[in-house]
Amino acid sequence: MAERKRKIVNDPVYGFITIDHPLIFALISHPYYQRLRRIHQMALAHLVYPGAMHTRFHHSMGAYHLMSCALQELKSKGVDITAEEEVAAKMAILLHDVGHGPYSHALENGIIEGVSHEKISHWLMEELNKEMKGALTLTIEIFNGRYHKTFLHQLVSSQLDVDRMDYLNRDSFYTGVSEGVIGYDRIIKMLTVHRGELMVEEKGIYSIEKFIVARRLMYWQVYLHKTVLSAENMLVKILRRAKELALKGVSLYASPALEYFLYHKISDANFEQEPACLQQFCLLDDYDILSAIKVWAQHSDKVLALLCKWLTNRELFKCVLSNESFDMVSINTLREKVQKQYGITGKELDYFVFTGTASLSTYNDQDEKINILFKDGTVKDISSIDNALVSHTLAIPVKKFYICHPKI
């Protein structure tokens, strides 16, 4: 760790990403971080946007790059940031997603219900900090918002953090949805710190508007696309069915790590008390899930087999979005048709016909605000500015209802 290394990684989004600190090398080389190479950033969105195959590894490297740029810019504006804080903030962003499991949303809803990826991140960071003999202590303080220089936490986690900036850039790049592109380089040049808080200079207002609108577009057009919702709900149903069968003692093909989570009831307590739990979690990734699903497509349980076959071959549920909730009459009509066509009955119909909701605040004025610093020293939340595009109306979450069912 003594010698001065410098490594340059090609990134199609930013050109080159530079790594030049031994602690950061150590962190990136750790199996817990390398595991993120095997977790797709956008889960099953590639079934609609075939380019969206990038990983959480690549996203967190990108966010790290933006963090480096932002810190550089702030320092050049005279903001006091020590070398130690710089490395700590960079490690905090590298680790921000470390607790995500494969198909995170599906996993949390299907196999480890009630255990959030935030908590797992927390446990993993503590574990890593032990291994690295305290080198992550400041990182963890910044991550948890307990360090006195609030702007460092805001760069890691707020409505204008480098996490969002990178995922909008990257998801837009890899899906080819060019409208999601944001002017991240201009936003970064407009960042400043005022009374310890992260702010945007007045000249940056329109870039921030653009950023908020790009995010809104990416949600409705990509993340909440009806076919993406369909695929991800099918995955939730598959994992729930598998767990249901497993807990009943039915035999299922699974890697040891997946087996662990299928055949045990899992809660926070397991992670906190049984070291094996976190160990097994770190061995679990997209490859365990998808390879099992392909095998389950031949399972004797009809519900599991059908869902797995359809997902594998991309014969996805039809999904309808609506501004209003669906009435019981039309849901029941669908259930009857599915019952007739596929011979599924009773409670098992819930695996085939189901409703859900998707919602989004374009700008959340309750969360960490995006503050604009005017030349005269005034500070205003972006949603409070005269003539702003982003008014308080946009803070009200928009909620949409959807229903899914197989081809009938």
Within residues 288-317, the interface with its own copies by CB under 8 A covers 288, 290-291, 294-295, 298, 312-315
* Residue matched to tokens 């908590």: 119
Nearer to its own copies, 187 or 349 (CB): 187
Residues 6 or more apart in contact with residue 273 via CB below 8 angstroms? none
Minimum Å gap between C-beta 216 and its own copies is 7
Nearer to its own copies, 220 or 326 (CB): 220
Q: How far is CA 75 from CA 38, 87, 189, 297, in A?
A: 35, 14, 11, 55
Minimum Å gap between C-beta 17 and its own copies is 9
Minimum Å gap between C-beta 155 and its own copies is 20
Minimum Å gap between C-beta 309 and its own copies is 9
Q: Does 213 bind its own copies (CB under 8 A)?
A: yes
Minimum Å gap between C-beta 306 and its own copies is 14
- Angle between helix 205-218 and helix 162-175 axes, rounded to 10 deg: 60
Minimum Å gap between C-beta 264 and its own copies is 18
Residue list 229-248, contact with its own copies (CB under 8 A)? none
Q: Are 156 and 142 in contact (CB under 8 A)?
A: yes
Considering only 39, 93, 107, 182, the residue that binds its own copies (CB under 8 A) is 182
Q: Does 186 bind its own copies (CB under 8 A)?
A: yes
Nearer to its own copies, 141 or 286 (CB): 286
Considering only 19, 39, 43, 61, the residue that binds its own copies (CB under 8 A) is 61
Q: Does 283 bind its own copies (CB under 8 A)?
A: yes
Residue list 356-385, contact with its own copies (CB under 8 A)? 362
Binding residues for its own copies, rule CB under 8 A, total 77
Report the helix count and the strand count for the chain, using DSSP H and E.
18, 9
Helices (H), ranges, 95-222 = 104-110, 117-131, 137-143, 150-156, 162-175, 184-190, 205-218
Q: How far is CA 275 from CA 3, 41, 123, 269, 280, in A?
A: 34, 27, 11, 11, 9
Nearest of 78, 304, 321 to residue 193 by alpha carbon: 78
Find the Cα–Cα–Cα–Cα dihedral 312, 318, 321, 325, rounded to 10°: -110
Residue list 339-358, contact with its own copies (CB under 8 A)? none
Give the Cα separation of 312 and 315 in Å (integer).
8
Q: Give me the count of residues in the chain.
A: 408
Considering only 98, 183, 236, 370, the residue that binds its own copies (CB under 8 A) is 183
Task: Read off the DSSP letter of residue 284.
Answer: -
Nearer to its own copies, 36 or 404 (CB): 36
* Helix (H/G/I), strand (E/B), else coil: 116: coil
Residue list 136-175, contact with its own copies (CB under 8 A)? 173-175
Considering only 10, 300, 366, 378, the residue that binds its own copies (CB under 8 A) is 10
Helices (H), ranges, 219-360 = 226-247, 256-263, 268-273, 275-281, 286-296, 302-312, 328-342
Residue list 76-115, contact with its own copies (CB under 8 A)? 76
Segment contacting its own copies (CB under 8 A): 119-127, 153-161, 268-276, 282-290?
A: 282-290
Q: Is 115 exposed, middle or buried (0-12, 13-18, 19+ CB in 10 A)?
A: buried
Q: What is the largest CA-CA distance in the chain?
A: 71
Considering only 47, 81, 305, 358, the residue that binds its own copies (CB under 8 A) is 47
Segment contacting its own copies (CB under 8 A): 31-39, 82-90, 120-128, 148-156?
A: 31-39
Q: Are 190 and 203 in contact (CB under 8 A)?
A: yes
Minimum Å gap between C-beta 55 and its own copies is 6
For the window 249-268, what string marks contact with its own copies as x by the rule CB under 8 A?
----x-xxx-----------
Q: Does 324 bind its own copies (CB under 8 A)?
A: no
Considering only 31, 134, 343, 346, the residue that binds its own copies (CB under 8 A) is 31
Q: Does 326 bind its own copies (CB under 8 A)?
A: no
Q: Does 42 bind its own copies (CB under 8 A)?
A: no
